[in-house]
Amino acid sequence: MSSEKRSFSSLKSYVPRRGLFDPCPPIGYKYYSTPPNLYLGFQPPGLPQFSPQEALKKGTLWKVFYDYYDNPYRKGGKGRG
């Protein structure tokens, strides 16, 4: 096995298949998000934690399990609202 460290992203993309006689125009890329707990396996002891106030805002106590969702289909930049 290689000892190189691989980075991963929870945002994945794919190009939908098209049939030869599909009358619809090509869609391009489609995106989906995978939760961070898929890459952890089990919860080891001593994980870094958010403060109680920050944990209520983020929805989790542990920083490893926080996953910000940014709509990849939104046009005009990042941000909420």
The answer to whether 81 touches 70, Cβ cutoff 8 Å, is no
Predicted structure pTM score: 0.53
The answer to whether 20 touches 81, Cβ cutoff 8 Å, is no
> At a CB cut-off of 8 Å and minimum separation 6, what does 72 contact?
11, 31
Task: Tell me what the pLDDT averaged over the chain comes to.
Answer: 79
Encode pLDDT of 31-70 as tens digits: 888 888 888 878 888 999 999 999 999 988 998 888 877 7
Encode pLDDT of 1-42 as tens digits: 444 455 567 788 888 888 888 888 888 888 888 888 888 878
What's the residue count for the chain?
81
Helix or strand or coil: residue 69?
A: coil
One-letter amino acid of 29: Y
- CA max distance for the chain: 56
